[in-house]
Amino acid sequence: MDTTVPATDVQRVLPRDEWVRTLPQTIVASCVLLLDAEDRMLLLRYADGQPAAGLWGLPGGMLDHGEDPVGAARRELHEETGISLEGDLRFIGYDHRADVLGTGPVLDFYFHGGRLAPGQTVRHSGEHDQDGLFALSDLESTPLTTPLPALTALHRAALTGTVVCLREGLSP
């Protein structure tokens, strides 16, 4: 005689597709660090009407559906500057930010795209109204989208062939 009693306090296991919808959503973006012969970084200034208007940042943006971080970095760089890179992009770091402008968590991937050719022209997209080459020392009073400690760490990673892991723009 079977005397087992069905358990009444067992949680129901969700089907995978329902379970996946319960997971936290994170925005993923990719940025490219380009240097000139003097180790200055290419930065773009966001134009009026943009959420970050007046701030300077690296070329980059959010991944499209199904896009990988390297592909997004190449696409965003081309869309925002007109520059198409040959060869590999080297991964130099990531930054996890818990909440960006109330949209929730963002994971930024950073790639080193190498050196700009002398006299390289930059074509602006509608998102940006200026570009410039900046030494780290030029950035102390520059309004930035990426905190200066993060740009400093990424610059060092690009020059030394290392990778940096950031949290909220800072080394943990």
The tokens for 165 are 């892991």
**Does the domain made of 24-167 have the CATH classification 3.90.79.10?**
yes
The tokens for 113 are 């795209």
Per-residue pLDDT reduced to its tens digit, 20-67: 888 888 889 999 999 999 999 999 999 999 989 999 999 999 999 999
The tokens for 68 are 């990988």
pTM assigned to the model: 0.87
Beta strand segments in the chain, E: 27-35, 41-46, 56-57, 60-62, 90-97, 106-115, 128-134, 164-167
